[in-house]
Amino acid sequence: MDFATFLVQCLNAVQYGLLLFLLASGLTLIFGIMGVINLAHGSFYMLGAYLAFVLSPHLGGSFIAVLLIGVLLSAAFGFVLEWAFFSFLYQRDHLQQVLMTYALILVFEEARSMLVGNDVHGVPIPAWLSGGFALGDLMSYPWYRLFASGACIVLAVALYAVVNRTRLGMMIRAGASNRDMVRGLGIDIKVLYRIVFAGGVALAALAGMIAAPMTSVYPNMGASVLIICFVVVVIGGIGSITGALVASLLVGFVDTFGKVFFSEYSGIGVYLLMAIILIWRPEGLMKRGF
Amino acid sequence: MDSDRRTFAWLLPAIGAVALALLPAVLTPYTHDLVVKITLYAIFALSLELLVGMTGLVSLGHAAFLGIGAYVTVLASGDGAGSALRLLPMAMGAAAVYALFVGALSLRTKGVYFIMVTLAFAQMAYFVFHDTQLGGGSDGIFLYVKPVIELGGTTWLDLDNKMHLYYSVLAALVFTYGLLALIRRSRFGHALAGIRVNEQRMRAAGFQTYRYKLAAFVIAGTLAGLAGFLLAAKDGAVNPELLSWHESGAVLLMLILGGIGHLRGAVIGAAAFMLLREFFQTEDLVGPLASHWQMTLGFTIIAFVALLPKGLIGMAMPRRRRAAPARPLEVRHD
Amino acid sequence: MTEGAPLLSAVDLTRRFGGLTAVNAVSIDLDVGEVHAVIGTNGAGKSTLVNMLSGEMPPSAGRIRFDGHDITRWSQPQRARAGVGRSYQRTTIFPEFSVFENCRLAAQATHPRPWALWESADGCGASVRAAHESLEAAGLEDQASRPAGLLSHGGKRQLEIAMCLASRPKVLLLDEPLAGMGAEESERMLALLEQLKREHAVLLVEHDMDAVFRVADRITVMVNGEVIASDAPQHIRSNRDVQVAYLGEDH
């Protein structure tokens, strides 16, 4: 493999990893703070992708507008969904949570089918991000993918800043380690949870929106990405944002280079990685905590 | 009084088995097929009950073992009629080996991690059959001739024969049910129950709980492999969707529908789930909702888990205080 | 009291959590025929010490010898089967099982026979016998068939001890067995402890000072993870350092 190809694959691996990170951080936040395992997280990713598809033609091609409106809409949706459904799951045991959120996937998939149909759709790459830059003599790397990586990095930094440097973040971290204490301090834990949940949904939807022009929009797109997301969380350690980042990048590299070298067996590479981590460090790479 | 209870506990399932044995006389081809399917999935559900109900391990990847059992049956059959005496142990053995691998690794984790890891390993098996040469791709593979038992020139069992298949599946159900009932009353079963209630306490007493959990995991996987063998024999085909998480989710659903913690619950739950699914998909009964059966099923699940977390059995059992439980668990051996 | 080496001997046990040292070079000996109490203020490291002795937490440094073996690396189940039993501060019985089954199951650990699937657990002679004996010792024989969850708080604490006894341990690590008990129940428990110490080596972690001074043969005082005194009760009472540490504490 020549250097240019290697560089392209590295960039792809990082881009995929960063996108996974957005998803995984949403999942790990929701689980780390509220203790709910949410199988429907992939559906939020799908929601974002479909939002991008639906909003694109109406917003005159302004991609940034699509992203902003999409984030607001999905955050609002998450807010309502937490109030109407998820808040009832906190007291339930894991099995019930699994089944309830699994049922939610079924409902979402069917709703999508009824509202938007079952066809595969494309989302256009905005004009100012189309094309690529040259790498070596033969290869070029798409600007959009670079934008995707960049956007994810910005979001990762923002997430880190919010969690570690703001009052909201402090309440989130406190809520993660000691729910009763937080309540005792007079912080309305219900609203805190709702905000965190909405944030998790928004992150997942954003990942879907950013991914849409690259992967196109199709039924069940949430399913496979969700399971990879779980693998990331297991490898990185639940409740650890840093762990999610390291694990996402690791998974990105294993998956991308796995496809290059072992095309047929590439699908299982990520799971073998998980198996190795389980042998070596079952609690995940990072300890609990942000 | 205690021995009366014990005989009575066997009576209900025994009656059920006899009823099932007599049923073919009155069944139409469609209902015959449905009953075989339900019985088969009851075996699958029972195998998971050992993990979820008896040991408290929620596995979201149990379909992997069903699928492996089915695939190995087809792959090892070749072009002619395979001998069930060879294929069944191979199917169960392959499922057992994968269960050992998955169990050994996933049991190093707890709680939610465990759920996610079992799902991931099932997905790994899914990809092996979906993407690689081994599995024949997303369309799956066909079984050319169904397994038989041929000894001394005579064909004693031909799973292509509907009656033979029916009674084989019934026999497998009786075997599985009986085995689990035996396990439940044994030291091993009591230890599993203790692990379910308070694993730390069990360790403090001196039990090496990891080994017990692993044993339960492997046994559960092996029994799922048995169901897989029968499924391949029944359908004459396998496809990767057998290992999908929809399948794993469905079997968990069967348990919660019937009622976790009861062997009867697994059987009832399997029947309830399959019937519900048929019901929701039949236009004659639900009209235009039939094409949106996933949503109807989804809402039904939510309602069920929210309102009836103890399942159908929980609904039937009145909330009475047991004055003097002779057995350790509040549940009966049936 | 005993000749030769103590039954359980821990030397320089240390436990660090990142930057925090919860237990610092604590040594403690347990002999058959005596109750060795460990007292200290909250956060003194008593629970961590017990966890290291029982095997739930590996020490950062130090060694533990039991009955001639170095058990520092042994897992908790291993130690339990060898004869190190423990009871917990928060009740860890099996509420849905009967009182009898609680003990029988605990006793089963020493006669596991997991592969004998055809044998009913209730028919396991050895564990049934052990369960009857420990229930009698704890005074719970008449409650044997009740669901354990229905016992009074004191009854549950007694069951906790009974379960500990069911696996026929030589060492008993008791973590606050009197927690939450009324006067009458405490009396019963103390009488039980007096009885138990005859044939076991008992480590008792307690906050109830009256109880401790009544029943203990030796007292070790811990403050901030370290031992500040370890002696017979009367000497502990008059020890200056101990008095300073407990100034303001009334029990």
* Secondary structure of A46-72 as H, E, C letters: HHHHHHHHHHHHHHCCCHHHHHHHHHH
d(CA B313, CA B269): 9
The answer to whether residue A130 is domain-embedded is: yes
Give the number of other Cβ atoms within 10 Å of residue A226's Cβ.
27
CATH of the domain at A69: 1.10.3470
Q: Does C126 touch chain B (CB under 8 A)?
A: no
| B residues 120-179 lying closer than 8 A (beta carbon) to A | 120-121, 123-124, 127-128, 130-133
**Distance in angstroms between the alpha carbons of the first and the last residue of chain C:** 30
pLDDT tens digits, B148-201: 888 777 788 888 888 999 999 999 999 999 999 999 999 999 999 999 999 999
pLDDT tens digits, A114-133: 888 888 888 888 877 778 88
As a 3-state breakdown, chain C gives helix, strand, coil percent values, each rounded to 5, of: 40, 25, 35
Sign of CA dihedral B120, B124, B125, B129: positive
Residues of chain B with C-beta less than 8 angstroms from the C-beta of C113: 187
Distances (CA, A) of A1 to A6, A95, A253, A256, A270: 6, 47, 16, 14, 22
For residue B318, what pLDDT is reported?
A: 60
pLDDT band at B7 (very low <50, low <70, confident <90, very high): low
For residue B58, what pLDDT is reported?
A: 95
Beta carbons of C134 and C162 less than 8 angstroms apart: yes
pLDDT band at C105 (very low <50, low <70, confident <90, very high): very high
Sign of CA dihedral A74, A79, A83, A88: positive
Q: Does B210 touch chain C (CB under 8 A)?
A: no
| B residues 300-329 lying closer than 8 A (beta carbon) to A | 300-302, 305-306, 309
Beta carbons of B177 and B49 less than 8 angstroms apart: no
- Give C63's strand partners: C11
Q: Does B245 touch chain C (CB under 8 A)?
A: no
CA angle in degrees (0–180, nearest 5) for B182-B186-B191: 125
CA angle in degrees (0–180, nearest 5) for B102-B108-B110: 105
Classify residue B259 by its DSSP letter: -
H-helix or E-strand spanning residue C154: helix C153-166
Beta carbons of A107 and B298 less than 8 angstroms apart: yes
**Distance in angstroms between the alpha carbons of the first and the last residue of chain B:** 18
For residue A229, what pLDDT is reported?
A: 92
Q: Which residues contact A270 (CB under 8 A, 6 or more apart)?
A: A228, A231, A251, A254, A255, A258
d(CA A67, CA A112): 20
CB contact under 8 A, A231 and B113: no
Could you tell me the domains of chain C?
1-83+170-251 (3.40.50.300), 92-168 (no CATH)
**B112 or B69: which leads in pLDDT:** B69
Nearest chain C CA: its distance from B215 CA (Å): 10
CA angle in degrees (0–180, nearest 5) for B113-B199-A90: 50
Q: Is C40 exposed, middle or buried (0-12, 13-18, 19+ CB in 10 A)?
A: buried
| A residues 131-170 lying closer than 8 A (beta carbon) to B | none
d(CA B99, CA B228): 14
| B residues 195-254 lying closer than 8 A (beta carbon) to A | 245, 249, 252-253
pLDDT tens digits, B245-279: 999 999 999 999 999 988 999 999 999 999 998 88
The answer to whether residue A217 is domain-embedded is: yes
Report the pLDDT averaged over residues C221-247.
Answer: 84
Beta carbons of B216 and B51 less than 8 angstroms apart: yes
d(CA B249, CA B265): 16
Q: Which residues contact B152 (CB under 8 A, 6 or more apart)?
A: none
Tokens describing residue C15: 């436990």
d(CA C141, CA C131): 9
**Distance in angstroms between the alpha carbons of the first and the last residue of chain A:** 38
Pairs of CB atoms within 8 A across A/B? 120
For residue C153, what pLDDT is reported?
A: 87
Locus of tokens 């708080």: C153
Most B-contacting residue of C51, C98, C100, C127 (CB-CB within 10 A), to test interface? C98
Tokens describing residue A67: 């992203």
Give the chains touching A; criterion: ≥3 Cβ pairs < 8 Å: B
Give the chains touching C; criterion: ≥3 Cβ pairs < 8 Å: B
d(CA B284, CA B192): 46
pLDDT surpassing 80 at residue C174: yes
- Give C69's strand partners: C66
For residue B317, what pLDDT is reported?
A: 66
- When divided into structural domains, chain A yields a total of 1
Classify residue A125 by its DSSP letter: P
Domain that holds residue A101: 8-280
H-helix or E-strand spanning residue C160: helix C153-166
pLDDT surpassing 60 at residue B29: yes
Of residues B186, B205, B215, nearest to C163 (C-beta): B205
The answer to whether residue A63 is domain-embedded is: yes
d(CA C96, CA C84): 26
Give the number of other Cβ atoms within 10 Å of residue C175's Cβ.
22
Give the residue among A254, A256, A258 at the shortest CA–CA distance from A266: A258
Q: Does B204 touch chain C (CB under 8 A)?
A: yes
Locus of tokens 């009898």: C100
Give the number of other Cβ atoms within 10 Å of residue C31's Cβ.
22
pLDDT band at B23 (very low <50, low <70, confident <90, very high): confident
Locus of tokens 């029990």: C251
CB contact under 8 A, A110 and B294: yes
Beta carbons of B50 and B216 less than 8 angstroms apart: yes
Give the number of other Cβ atoms within 10 Å of residue B291's Cβ.
14
d(CA C47, CA C67): 23
Most C-contacting residue of B196, B207, B217, B321 (CB-CB within 10 A), to test interface? B207
User: What are the E-state strand segments in chain A?
Assistant: 132-135, 139-142
Could you tell me the domains of chain B?
9-316 (1.10.3470)
Residues of chain B with C-beta less than 8 angstroms from the C-beta of A243: none
Classify residue C38 by its DSSP letter: E
CB contact under 8 A, C147 and B205: no
Of residues A102, A234, A274, nearest to B249 (C-beta): A102
Nearest chain A CA: its distance from B85 CA (Å): 32
For residue B156, what pLDDT is reported?
A: 83
